[in-house]
Each structure stands twice: as C-alpha cells, then as structure tokens.
Amino acid sequence: MLAVRIESELESRLDALAKLRQRSKSDLVREAILRMLEDIEDAELAEVALAQTKSSKSLSQLRKELGLEG
C-alpha cells in the first residue's frame, strides 16, 4: 500500500475526473502510475537499442554499400 499527498488543486481535478469516468480516485492514480512506468521503461529500452545499433559509417558510405548511389 502507498499513501500519497497531493495539492488540493490536483485532488480537485482528480475528483472531477473520477466522477466523470465513474471510477475511484485510486483506480485513476493506479492507471496513471502504470502508464508512466511503462513509458519510462519503453524509453529506457529504446535508448539501449539505439546505443546498440549506432553505426560509425556515414550516410554516403551506407548508400554506396546498399547500391543507392549512382
């Protein structure tokens, strides 16, 4: 279990959204945290993949190798 303190303005917005969607504030906060964690994890995976695929060849070298210059 986790307890979080938020500003009154943010809680008012959360209350309004919970009423609009007919869901509990806890459900909305849980969903928001899950989305944020997934986004951060995806960004980290993308950074690792990018670092592993960086090429030291120039664009013109790659175009020649692929037969795209001529």
Q: How far is CA 60 from CA 48, 51, 53, 55, 67, in A?
A: 25, 21, 18, 12, 10
Could you tell me if residue 2 is inside a domain?
Answer: no
Could you tell me if residue 70 is inside a domain?
Answer: no
CA–CA gap between residue 31 and residue 8 (Å, rounded): 20
Which residue range is the domain that position 60 belongs to?
8-65
Residue 30 phi, psi dihedral angles, 5° rounding: -60, -45
Name, in order, each residue with C-beta under 8 angstroms of 24's C-beta and a sequence gap of 6 or more.
Answer: 18
What pLDDT does residue 70 have? 62
What pLDDT does residue 52 have? 82
**Count of the separate structural domains present in the chain:** 1
Q: What is the pLDDT of residues 1-47, one digit of tens each?
A: 899 999 999 999 999 999 999 999 999 999 999 999 999 999 999 99
What pLDDT does residue 61 have? 87
